[in-house]
Amino acid sequence: MTKVISLPKTSMCYNEANRLNGLTSQWKRVGSHVTSPLAYLRYGLILLPAAADIFLQQLDDYGEYMVYILLFLAIAVLSRFLPSPTYLKAAILLEIPLSLWLCHQYGFMMVFLSISSLCVYLPLFERPGRLWLAFGHLALLNIAITDYDALLHTTANLLFLFLAVTFHRIHEMNQKELDHIYLYDELKRLHFQQDEAGRQLLQFAHQVESAAQAEERNRISRQLHDDIGHRLIRVKMMMEAALHIVPQDAARGMDMLHQIRDQLGESMEQMRTAVKQMNPSRRITDDYSLDRLLEETGRETGIETELVLQGIPYPLYPSQQVVLYKNAREAITNAIRHGEAKQIQILLQYGDEEVRMEVSNDGTVQEDANPISLADRHGIGISGMLERTKVVGGTLEVRKSVPFTVITRLPVYRKREIM
């Protein structure tokens, strides 16, 4: 059965990202028009020279003069609110000829009005276009002021070049600021997207974990129902049969009771396995704990057990924990089965170069006991201990004196502290 996992849609971060995208587009539009510092400077270059010209020279018709000045100012103001750069370029093509005519008609102060157009087309065009337009503007300005004397003519050219460079630098600095704001907004948008992706990934991981746990629980429930449940039903039926057989045939009834015991033992083992599988947070230190081994041994057999630690405990590799646990379990099994021990002690010593485990018991000791003869006499038990210990580079020793002791030594590799 395939389970479809759906991710919940969270729109808050995406809405925030879209808002930032809108801000970014807005900043781009602002950057393509006259920027604020140049706009204020542009109005000053229009109004101040126009007002000064009224007092510096005698005009024949002030009303006509004010009409032209206000017309030029209206074009400058309306150009800031045009919807697209195309209309702005058209306004520039209208503004520059008007300013040149004012320079020719009303004298030197109108040069500032003509120069104010630089504030518009320098930010509007790219570098090659703005250079060509500036040179063309300067050439037309020189044609318009041909009647000026040499000093005013030179001053107008130097003033045009100086302000053109100044406006260009102001535009570049302002553009860098806009680029920094744009990059900041872009980083913030990406940050929101990354947070949203992280949240969705975390939710997806939780859903996968929940699905896996649900599937595992279903498998365990089927195992309990199919295996353990059926086995218990069979045990119940065998118990009912044994109740009728024992009074008539005791031997056959006892044999059936032994079968029932074996069936119950297997059911208990399956139950333990299922319970372990239902607890995924168990660590290897829990499964191969010497404390738990001695506790279970004492509870099941009734013998006295003791664990003694020497030195400061430190973490061991999982392979070393497995070797110590299995060697201790095999030594305890041999002590109970062959030595009929009543007391068992495990001494675990943590050293700088090795960890040492001694499993001793008070059981009977057979004559001429040594590792080789023990391996031959008791089957693969001692041989398995030797093989496991050699795999991790350790040694195994069996002391035949009372108390009978199995010693396991495993090398450890620890980083020494630099004094």
User: How much is the pLDDT for 289?
Assistant: 84
Q: What is the residue-averaged pLDDT of the chain?
A: 78
Sign of the Cα pseudo-torsion (363, 368, 371, 376, in order): negative
C-alpha 277/C-alpha 292 separation (Å) is: 18
Is residue 29 over pLDDT 50? no
- List, as own/partner pairs, every contact residues 310-314 make where C-beta atoms lie below 8 angstroms and the sequence separation is at least 24, other chains included: 310/347, 310/348, 310/349, 310/350, 311/349, 311/350, 311/351, 312/350, 313/350, 314/350, 314/412, 314/414
- The pTM (predicted TM-score) of the whole model is 0.38
Give the relative orientation of helices 150-223 and 36-56 as an angle to the nearest 10 degrees: 160
| Domains within the chain, CATH numbers bracketed | 22-148 (no CATH), 285-364+379-411 (3.30.565.10)
User: How much is the pLDDT for 24?
Assistant: 45
Digit-coded pLDDT (tens) for 155-189: 989 988 998 888 888 878 888 888 888 899 899 99
DSSP codes, 339-391: S--SEEEEEEEE-SSEEEEEEEE-S---TT--HHHHHHHSTHHHHHHHHHHHH
Is residue 222 over pLDDT 60? yes
Q: Give the rounded percent of residues in the chain with a pLDDT score beyond 90.
A: 10
Q: Which two tokens stand for residue 316?
A: 């061991």
User: How much is the pLDDT for 368?
Assistant: 52
User: Is the backbone of residue 303 left (phi > 0), alpha (psi -120 to 50) or beta?
Assistant: beta
C-alpha 141/C-alpha 132 separation (Å) is: 14
Q: Among 234-248, 271-285, 392-406, where is mean pLDDT lowest?
A: 271-285
User: How much is the pLDDT for 84?
Assistant: 74
Digit-coded pLDDT (tens) for 350-375: 998 899 999 999 887 765 544 444 44
Digit-coded pLDDT (tens) for 223-232: 666 667 777 7
Digit-coded pLDDT (tens) for 324-355: 999 999 999 888 887 788 899 999 999 988 99
Give the relative orientation of helices 290-301 and 318-337 as an angle to the nearest 10 degrees: 20
More confident residue, 220 or 155: 155
- Of 417, 369, 376, the C-alpha closest to 397 is 369
Sign of the Cα pseudo-torsion (164, 165, 168, 173, in order): negative
C-alpha 410/C-alpha 137 separation (Å) is: 91
Instruction: Answer whether 339's CB lies under 8 Å from 363's CB.
Output: yes
Q: Give the rounded percent of residues in the chain with a pLDDT score beyond 70.
A: 80
Instruction: Answer whether 405's CB lies under 8 Å from 335's CB.
Output: no
Is residue 206 over pLDDT 90? no
Q: Which of 17-26, 196-205, 376-385 is most confident?
A: 196-205
What's the mean pLDDT in 376-390? 75
The amino acid present at 382, given as its one-letter code, is I
CA distances from 183 to 21, 28, 178, 180, 192 (A): 11, 12, 9, 5, 14
CA distances from 361 to 308, 340, 388, 400 (A): 14, 9, 22, 11
What's the mean pLDDT in 295-299? 86
What's the mean pLDDT in 18-38? 50
Q: Which two tokens stand for residue 137?
A: 């503007």
| Peptide bond just before 128 cis, omega within 30 deg | no
User: How much is the pLDDT for 419?
Assistant: 39
User: How much is the pLDDT for 395?
Assistant: 93
User: Is the backbone of residue 77 left (phi > 0), alpha (psi -120 to 50) or beta?
Assistant: alpha
C-alpha 126/C-alpha 163 separation (Å) is: 18
Sheet-wide strand order for 404-411: 304-310, 343-350, 354-361, 404-411, 395-399
Other Cβ atoms within 10 Å of 376 Cβ, number: 11
Confidence of residue 1 (pLDDT cuts 50, 70, 90): very low
**Distance, CA of 100 to chain centre:** 63
Q: Which two tokens stand for residue 205?
A: 């991981």
More confident residue, 418 or 126: 126
User: How much is the pLDDT for 96?
Assistant: 86
DSSP reduced 3-state for 408: strand
Is residue 246 over pLDDT 70? yes
User: How much is the pLDDT for 35?
Assistant: 56
Is residue 27 over pLDDT 80? no
Digit-coded pLDDT (tens) for 49-73: 888 888 887 777 788 888 888 888 8
